[in-house]
Structure 1
Amino acid sequence: MKGLILALAALLATPAAAKPVSFATDIAPMLKTRCAVCHLTGQEAGNLALHPKAAYASLFKRKSGESPWLLVDPKKPDTSYLVMKLEGTHLKKGGKGARMPFAAPPLDAATVALLRRWISEGATNN
């Protein structure tokens, strides 16, 4: 009986499953406001177009030009070069260049965590 009570208490203490991160409503708007200013056409550094209509194709399962890593490696935020560039860990992992966003304040921890969660969930174009 005690085991059943503990199991029920643990179940009740567990938060409800979080709504999946949406690329269209959560990630693309952030890329538009924080990244597309410099990465608009795909001709800029990194060869990335990060405006909403092009961002997913520019990032998903594409190899970085600065490292051996994929820009977005589905279900693997720790090996996604985009995360490394945003967190400033890219140089330690064989990357090049500056932390992103360039010449601007880093993204806040909550935004990076949301991006990490989207990648962990499979980086779908939803």
Structure 2
Amino acid sequence: MTKIPRLVAAGMVVLTAAMLGCGGDGSTLGPDGTPLDEGDSDGIVDDGDSTAVTVSLTQLSAEIFTPKCAKAGCHTGSSPAAGMSLASSSIAAAIIDVASNQRPGLKRIDPNNPDGSYLIQKVRGAGANSQMPIGDAPLSSAEIQLIVDWVTAGAPSE
């Protein structure tokens, strides 16, 4: 064998070894065959289009409960309507895992169960006495969805 074929043979051996060493078992590739980010071993490709919504009770209180529900004569003060204060300082204790006064079989907010949460039924106007807020425009579908998303996420009290 001459020097050139030996060099070619040696080069092919090195190239083959390098390719085999880089091949892996496929466990670090996403469904589309591209490498996953470091530490991402769930096989789900993050395309940046996440629709997950993170809603906090603080946000709900500031954007919905305080301005639309905790008004004079409604869900605030020493004698709030239905015994439920939606003032930001006491809201978690008043609504999360607390039985409804009007429908004791339901909780005001049943974490992870928006359809079984009486407060959501009230703002939707479904299966409840009167749609809340009384005497004011109903909550928008986007506002109701924020509450639903928070309940679905387990209704964290922060």
TM-score, normalising length: structure 1: 0.81
Question: Which structure is higher in helix share?
Answer: 1
In the alignment, structure 1 residue 48 sits paired with structure 2 residue 75: no
Secondary structure of the 1:5 match is coil
Give the letter aligned to residue 58 of structure 1. A
Inter-partner Cα distance in structure 2 for 1:109 and 1:7: 39
**Residue 16 of structure 1: how far off its partner (Å):** 2.7
Partner secondary structure for residue 132 of structure 2: coil
Amino acid of the residue matched to residue 110 of structure 1?
Answer: A
Unaligned residue ranges in structure 2 (runs of 5+): 1-30, 36-43
CA distance in 2, matches of 1:39, 1:12: 42
**Secondary structure in structure 1 of the residue aligned to 2:70:** coil
Output the amino acid matched with 2:124. Answer: E
* Deviation by residue 1:45-79 (Cα, 9 ceiling, x = unmatched): 31111110011111010000111210000000000
Structure of higher RCO (CA pairs closer than 8 Å, 6+ residues apart): 1
Contact 1:42–1:48 (8 Å) recurs in 2 = no
1:99 aligned partner, one-letter code:
Q
- Give the whole-Å Cα distance in 2 for the aligned partners of 1:89 and 1:71: 14
Where do 1:67-86 residues align within 5 Å? Answer: 67=103, 68-86=105-123
- Give the percent of matched residue pairs that are identical in Structure 1 and Structure 2: 25
Deviating above 4 A after TM superposition, structure 1's stretches of 4 or more consecutive aligned residues are: none
Structure with higher Rg: it is 2
Aligned-CA RMSD value: 2.3
TM-score, normalised to structure 2, is 0.66
Is the alpha carbon distance of 1:108 and 1:6 closer, same or farther for their aligned partners in structure 2, counting shifts above 3 Å? farther
